[in-house]
Chains A and B, each alone.
Chain A
Amino acid sequence: MAQIELVHLSKVYGNDVAAVRDLNLDVAEGEFMVLVGPSGCGKTTALRMVAGLEEISSGEIRIGGKVVNELAPRDRDIAMVFQNYALYPHKSVYENLAFGLRMRKVPKAEQKERVEEIARILGLGEMLHRRPAQLSGGQRQRVAMGRAIVREPKAFLMDEPLSNLDAKLRVQMRAEIARIQQALKVTTVYVTHDQVEAMTMGHRVAVMRDGELQQVDTPQRLYDAPANLFVASFVGSPPMNLFEAVVERDDSRLVCRIGETELELPADVAAERPALANYSGRPVAVGIRPEDVREAAGWDGARLRGRILLVESLGSEQLVHIEIAATPLERSDLIDAAAQPPGPPLGVDDLERAVTLLGRFDRHLLLAPGEAVEVAIDPRLLHFFDLETGVAIPAVDVPVAAEVVS
C-alpha cells in the first residue's frame, strides 16, 4: 500500500494531441480515488501512465514516495483491471489468478493457498478449472478483480471495469468492489465516465476535462460546491439547472434578476460570498439543483413563473420540465455538452427567451403539461459562477480545489 502522487504530469501524443495537461493529484494511502470525466478527457491516458504502459511526456509520478517514471510496469508493483478484463484466454481461471504470483516466483504451495483463498472470497471456487470463455460476464469481471487482489500490490488501477456489464450487475459489482477496497485498504485509482459510479464509490473524485483537472474533492463537496460550471453540469443526475441572471445592488441589498423575476439575496448569502458584490450590474451564471426547485405552496419568498412542458414519472418522484423566462447560457463551451438541457421548444409565444428548468417533485403532486405553475427558489441554494471564466463565485469557507503543491 502506498501513496500515489502525480506531479505536473503531461502527455502529448505525436506532437500536438495533449491528452493530459499538467495534472497534479495526490492519492493518499488506502484512498479510493475516482477519475471521472467525459469521453476522451484523458482518464485512461493518466491511468496508463501510472501503470507504466504509456510513456510520460513531462512531470513525475511517485508511488510510495519513489519516482517511478523510468520503471517498467512489472517493477511498479501495481495491479490493473482492464475494461474488457484482459483474461488470458488460453489459461484456466486458476492459472489466470496464479500468473502474477508465478511471475514473481512465489512458491507453488503459497500460490495455491492464496489463489484458493481469493477464489473462495470471490465465489469462484467451483470454476477454477474453467477457461474464461466458459464464464459469464460477471464471473469474468470477478476473475479480473481476483487477479489484481491476489498479488497484494501497492495499488489497484481500474479502467472502467464495470462498463461491459449490464445495468443490474453493474450496481451489484459496484458495491462489491467498494467493499473489497475497504476491506483491503489498498490505494485505488478508478477510472470511469459514469458520474454515478464516481459519486457512489470514490472517497474522493477527480473531475477531468480535455486533459485538465477541474476539481478534486469528496463526492458530497463536489455536489454541494462545484468549482466551476463544468463540474456543476457534470456532477449530478439530472444535472444542475444553469442559466444567466443579473446581479444588482438595490440600496444595501443584493438582488438577483432572473428574467423578469427579482430574487432578493438575504444578507447572509451576500455575506458568505463577498465577491458577489463586485458583479453588481453584470450578468452571472446561476445554478440550482433540480431537487432544490420547490413547490411554491406555503413559500413566501420569491417565485418563478413558468409553464409545464413535460412530466416524467420516476415512480418515487416526478421530474418536471418547466419553461421559464430566463436567458440561457451563451457559453456552452464552459459546461458539459452531455448535460445541456433540451432547448426551449420552437414557437414559444409570449416568453422571448426561455429556459427549461428541471425540477424534482413529490409524486403526489398533480401536474399536467401545459399547466402554468409557480416554483419557489431559495436564494440560499443558488450557485453562482463567473460568466467569462466559468469559475464559481465562492463562498468564503469553501476551498476550490484541493491543489497538490509539489
Chain B
Amino acid sequence: MSADPPTSPSSAVVYPRWLRISHWLNALAVPLMMGSGWRIYDAAPLFAVSIPREVTLGGWLGGALQWHFAAMWLLAGNGLFYLTVNLVGGRLFRRFFPVSPRGVLADAVLALRGRLRHDDPGRYNQVQRAAYLFATLDLVVLAMSGLVLWKSVQFAVLRDLLGGYEAARLVHFVAMVLLAGFVALHLVMVALVPRTLPRMIRGR
C-alpha cells in the first residue's frame, strides 16, 4: 500500500474533466445498449425468460438494432478514450491498485458494518476498486463478444477464442447480466453515499 497519492483536501479536483465527460457519456451509452439489446434478445430469447417490452428500446427488432449499432460507437469510442487516458497517464494503476481479494473482503465487511470511511475522495476503497475494474473488464468482454455476434466471419480469431458464434451469444448475455448487476449496485451505493454525486459532476 505505498503508491497511493497523498490525501486530497475536499476542494481538490478528484475527477478530472475528461473522466467526468467520459463517465457521463458511458452512463448514456450503457442504458441505450442495454435497452435495445433487451429488445433484440426478445426476438429470439436464449432462455425461457423474455424482457418486458416496457423497459426495452427501439419498439421493434429493426429499431432496436438501429439503436444498438448506433450506440455501440459511443460506447466503444468513449471506452477506448477512457482506457487510453487512464493507461497512458498511469491513473489506472494509481487509482485502482493495489487490490486484493482479502482487501476487498475486509473493506466489504467494514462497509456492511457502516464503518467504511469516505472522507478521502482521492482514494477508492478496495470494494470500489474491484467493482470499477470489474465493470471496465466486463464492458471489454461485452464489446468483444458483440464484435463476434456482429461479424463472426470477419473476426475469426476472436470468434474461435470465444468458442464460436453460439458461445459468443451466451458470453454476451452473461456479461450483460453482470453489468446490469454492477449498475444496480453502483446506483444503490450512490444513493447511500450521495455526496459522491456532485463530485462526479463538478470534479471536486
A and B: bona fide binding partners = no
